């Protein structure tokens, strides 16, 4: 079977890496791909915004499964376009993807189906938003309504920060059209976790729970990024909690989406806060997380290809989904100097060949014609290490990361710190 993967991040490298191990898969194409996918699959020279040409390629080359990685493609209706051509594609339709591309829609949806989440209000003018914030007080959370690459959220502990965040979204238009309206949300205190699930429109099968580290700085300080590191599984997520999340959140979401005429197919990704009143939804994403995928898929013992096929065909209940037990995976993201702000690209990357025991999933990398690998994005690469304990995985990942270099390389030195407190070094 020939497969097409759309996207160019570490997430897509991890998906391609996992699919490449499937005996069912004979060839993998990636568009646009990156330096890492170039080594194990065929990157296609199709402009990254030319969906028509991608679908045409898939038809002409008898692609039996297309996997859409990034949210922006799902929001644009890539799945609808492919389906209209009779293609099988793993991911939600544009209407189902609304759970991610409109935070206000997601909030109203949760209200309709009594899915636990923080209180919220939506605004279309900065004055009204500020008046509301003055009334409710801090801490408070300000979010651009649309897609903002994980950077449209500010958790404000004082009114000045809240006001500045509102201005950034609505006056400076830092996120463009995504900031035409904004959501002001109740601050939820607790431990955060990411739960991904395979969905076939009817049922959802959870993956192993992961934890991301969104802020750029150690100790979870500074502005939010797309994610600076992850680990899985997180023991903050007990089996009882998983049962509660499935019953109170995942199952009602699947039923609600079906009831609204937009059944959810693909990966549902719940950003959860485990509060003292139980788990609450921070946000829905409608795709694999990046960098959650980089730790979750290496722990998947089963073949990914039949799972995705079954999800597309509405028969997920029939496939076996097995996970590696007694193994923890840690992912540390190496980023360009300046990220999540401005950064330069084209910087040579060295030392990858020194790494033996970790998996390297490349993100913002490009392979030049002469074979040289250079940086091409903010998050450049992911070092993923499996271990029998979190400590072993962390130590291994950092030991390998120290072999790698590019000018200005930045990474957090404290990935997994919460889990390490729960499971200290012996
Ligand atoms: P999001 O892009 O919605 O996942 O938000 C980015 C990060 O902001 C989350 O991972 C949380 O750490 C934080 N955050 C978002 N919403 C809330 C909330 N209501 N309460 C506390 N923290 C939040
Ligand atoms: N790691 C968070 C995300 O993929 O949105």
- What confidence tens digit (pLDDT) does each residue in 216-248 have? 999 999 988 889 999 999 999 999 999 999 999
403 CB contacts (<8 Å, ≥6 apart)?
351, 354, 355
Distance 74 CA to ligand 1 centre (A): 22
Choose one of 194, 213, 363 to mutate for the ligand 2 pocket test, by most ligand atoms within 8 angstroms of C-beta. 194
Residue 188 has a pLDDT of: 96
Specify whether 193 is located in the same domain as 314: yes
Query: What is the CB < 6 Å shell around ligand 2?
Result: 150, 212, 227, 285, 289-290, 292
Cα–Cα separations (whole angstroms), residue 143 to 170, 332, 417: 11, 26, 27
Q: Which ligand is nearest to the CA of 154?
A: 1
Ligand 1 atom 7, closest CA: 153
Ligand 2 atom nearest to CA at 291: 1
**Dihedral angle sign, alpha carbons of residues 343, 385, 288, 226:** negative
Ligand 2 atom 4, closest CA: 289
416 domain-assigned: yes
CATH number of the domain residue 138 falls in: 3.30.1490.20
47 domain-assigned: yes
Residue 127 has a pLDDT of: 93
DSSP string, 204-221: EEE---BEE--EEETTTE
Point out the residues of the chain with pLDDT beneath 50: none
Pairing of strands 278-285, 328-335: unpaired
3 state DSSP class of 358: coil
104 domain-assigned: no
What does the DSSP 8-state code read for residue 39?
H
- Count of structural domains within the chain: 4
Residue 149 has a pLDDT of: 64
Query: What is the CB < 6 Å shell around ligand 1?
Result: 118, 141, 143, 150, 153, 155, 185-188, 192, 214, 224, 271, 282-283
109 domain-assigned: no
Specify whether 89 is located in the same domain as 149: no
Please give the Cα distance from 171 to 165 (Å, whole number): 10
Ligand 2 atom nearest to CA at 227: 1
Ligand 1 atom 5, closest CA: 153
CATH number of the domain residue 292 falls in: 3.30.470.20
Specify whether 49 is located in the same domain as 146: no
Residue 150 has a pLDDT of: 58
Residue 355's domain comprises: 328-422
Specify whether 200 is located in the same domain as 283: yes
């Amino acid at each position: 079977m020939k497969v097409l993967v759309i996207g160019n991040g570490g997430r897509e490298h991890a998906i391609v890496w996992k699919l490449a191990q499937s005996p069912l898969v004979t060839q993998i194409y990636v568009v646009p791909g990156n330096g890492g996918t170039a080594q194990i699959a065929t990157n296609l020279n199709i402009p990254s915004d030319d969906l028509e040409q991608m679908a045409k390629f898939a038809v002409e080359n008898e692609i039996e499964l297309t996997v859409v990685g990034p949210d922006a493609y799902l929001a644009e209706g890539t799945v609808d376009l492919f389906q209209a051509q009779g293609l099988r594609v793993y991911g939600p339709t544009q209407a189902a993807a609304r759970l991610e591309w409109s935070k206000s829609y997601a909030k109203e949806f949760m209200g309709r189906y009594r899915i636990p989440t923080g209180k919220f209000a939506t605004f279309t003018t900065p004055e009204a938003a500020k008046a509301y914030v003055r009334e409710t007080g801090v801490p408070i959370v300000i979010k651009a309504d649309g897609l903002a690459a994980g950077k449209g959220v500010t958790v404000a502990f004082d009114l000045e920060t809240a006001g500045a965040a509102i201005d950034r979204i609505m006056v400076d238009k830092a996120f463009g059209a995504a900031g035409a309206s904004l959501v002001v949300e109740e601050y939820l205190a607790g431990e955060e976790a990411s739960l991904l699930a395979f969905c076939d429109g009817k049922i959802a099968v959870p993956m192993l729970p992961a934890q991301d580290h969104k802020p750029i700085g150690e100790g979870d300080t500074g502005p939010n990024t797309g994610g600076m590191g992850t680990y899985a599984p997180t023991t903050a997520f007990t089996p009882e909690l998983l049962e509660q999340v499935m019953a109170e959140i995942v199952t009602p979401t699947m039923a609600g989406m079906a009831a609204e005429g937009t059944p959810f197919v693909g990966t549902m990704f719940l950003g959860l806060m485990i509060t003292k009143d139980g788990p609450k939804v921070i946000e829905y994403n409608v795709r694999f997380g990046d960098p959650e995928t980089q730790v979750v898929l290496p722990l998947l013992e089963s073949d990914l290809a039949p799972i995705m096929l079954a999800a597309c065909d509405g028969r997920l209940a029939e496939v076996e989904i097995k996970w590696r037990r007694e193994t923890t995976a840690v992912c540390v993201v190496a980023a360009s100097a300046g990220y999540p702000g401005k950064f330069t690209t084209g910087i040579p990357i060295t030392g990858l060949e020194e790494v033996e025991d970790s998996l390297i999933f490349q993100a913002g990398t490009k392979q030049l014609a002469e074979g040289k690998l250079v940086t091409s994005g903010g998050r450049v690469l992911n070092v993923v290490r499996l271990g029998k304990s979190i400590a072993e995985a962390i130590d291994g990942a950092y030991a390998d990361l120290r072999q790698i270099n590019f000018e200005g390389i930045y990474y957090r030195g404290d990935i997994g710190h919460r889990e390490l407190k729960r499971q200290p070094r012996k």
